């Protein structure tokens, strides 16, 4: 059904667009205009307040208005039909009361967490959590810790790159970072980050990584038609191995924080309960 031809509310579009473009003050109640009506439900001009983004053109505003009204009309029809078919055993007032109570409690719990939760997780706590729970974190795919440099062929100053790659000198290691930031297509030089094969396969041919695994080689230099690669594998973990802490660190932190939140809220509830008992504001009327 085309909303433009089916409902007689488009006469207000010029007024709406003018109000939007000129950023006039909100209409007073007595100036409000009826835009659409479905059974006993009405949509007024004031209901569209705040609907338009800043500097919206007349054309954009027209599309926004018509889209909003069409959605409103469809929702109103559905709501009316739903109201006519409410099961007799459905206690709407109780549902609304329970939902309102849930929203109020949720909002207050959010305030409590934001104002009192200590979100700093020490390395000691993180390691203790890992040692206690690491059996739960089994890998589902191969991961590896490695360094690599990928450059286009021919590699700029290839001899210097090889020298810097093979050097253990700290000055040369910094020079390698500088080289990669200027010339490398992709690189990773941290010795503590774990990658999945899928992540590395976007930059390094998977066949080469598999060859490294098969030959137990810890590194190599190879090239294809377009790129040259330097790869040094530092560690390798197979599926079903226990995931290293560095690989699950962010997930572990989330679990620790979730437990802190649960504990905090339980403590606060108990504290409030004890205060209420002390102040004798709890009255129980039991048979």
pLDDT per residue of the chain (287 residues) written in tens, 0 to 9: 444 434 434 434 444 444 444 344 444 455 688 999 999 899 998 888 877 777 778 788 888 888 999 999 999 999 999 989 988 888 889 999 999 999 999 999 999 999 999 999 999 999 999 999 999 999 999 998 989 999 999 988 999 999 999 998 999 999 999 999 999 999 999 989 999 988 988 898 877 777 766 655 566 788 888 999 999 888 889 999 999 999 999 999 999 999 999 999 999 999 999 999 999 999 888 76
The CATH architecture assigned to 139-237 reads Roll (3.10)
CB atoms near residue 179 (< 10 Å): 21
Whether 132 and 147 have beta carbons less than 8 Å apart is answered as no
Residue ranges covered by each domain of the chain:
3-84, 117-138+244-287, 139-237
Please list the residues that pair with 233 across neighbouring strands: 146
Q: How far, in whole angstroms, is CA 224 from its chain's centroid?
A: 37
Contacts from 45-50 at CB under 8 Å and sequence distance 24+?
45/12, 45/15, 45/16, 48/16
Classify 116 in phi/psi space as left (phi over 0), alpha (psi -120 to 50) or beta: alpha
Q: Is 222 exposed, middle or buried (0-12, 13-18, 19+ CB in 10 A)?
A: middle
DSSP 110-144: HHHHHHH------HHHHHHHHHHHGGG-B-SS-EE
pTM over 0.75: no
């Amino acid at each position: 059904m085309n909303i433009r031809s089916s409902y007689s509310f488009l006469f207000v579009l010029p007024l709406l667009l003018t109000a939007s473009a000129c950023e006039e003050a909100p209409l007073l109640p007595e100036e409000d205009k009826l835009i659409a009506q479905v059974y006993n439900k009405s949509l007024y001009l004031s209901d569209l307040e705040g609907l338009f983004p800043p500097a919206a053109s007349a054309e954009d505003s027209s599309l926004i208005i018509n889209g909003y009204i069409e959605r409103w009309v469809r929702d109103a029809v559905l709501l009316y039909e739903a109201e006519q078919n409410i099961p007799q055993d459905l206690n709407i007032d109780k549902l609304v009361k329970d939902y309102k109570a849930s929203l109020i409690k949720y909002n207050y719990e959010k305030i409590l967490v934001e104002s009192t939760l200590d979100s700093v997780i020490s390395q000691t706590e993180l390691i203790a959590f890992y040692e206690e729970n690491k059996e739960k974190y089994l890998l589902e795919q191969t991961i590896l810790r490695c360094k690599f440099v990928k450059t286009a062929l021919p590699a700029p100053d290839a001899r210097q790159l090889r020298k810097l790659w093979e050097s253990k000198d700290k000055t040369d290691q910094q020079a390698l970072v500088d080289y990669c930031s200027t010339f490398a297509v992709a690189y990773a030089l941290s010795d503590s980050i774990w990658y999945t094969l899928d992540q590395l396969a976007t930059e390094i041919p998977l066949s080469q990584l598999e060859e490294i695994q098969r030959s137990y080689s810890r590194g190599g230099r190879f090239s294809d038609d377009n790129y040259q690669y330097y790869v040094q594998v530092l560690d390798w973990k197979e599926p079903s191995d226990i995931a290293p802490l560095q690989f699950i660190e962010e997930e572990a932190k989330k679990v620790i924080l979730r437990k802190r939140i649960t504990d905090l809220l339980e403590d606060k509830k108990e504290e409030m309960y004890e205060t209420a008992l002390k102040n004798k504001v709890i009255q129980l009327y039991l048979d």
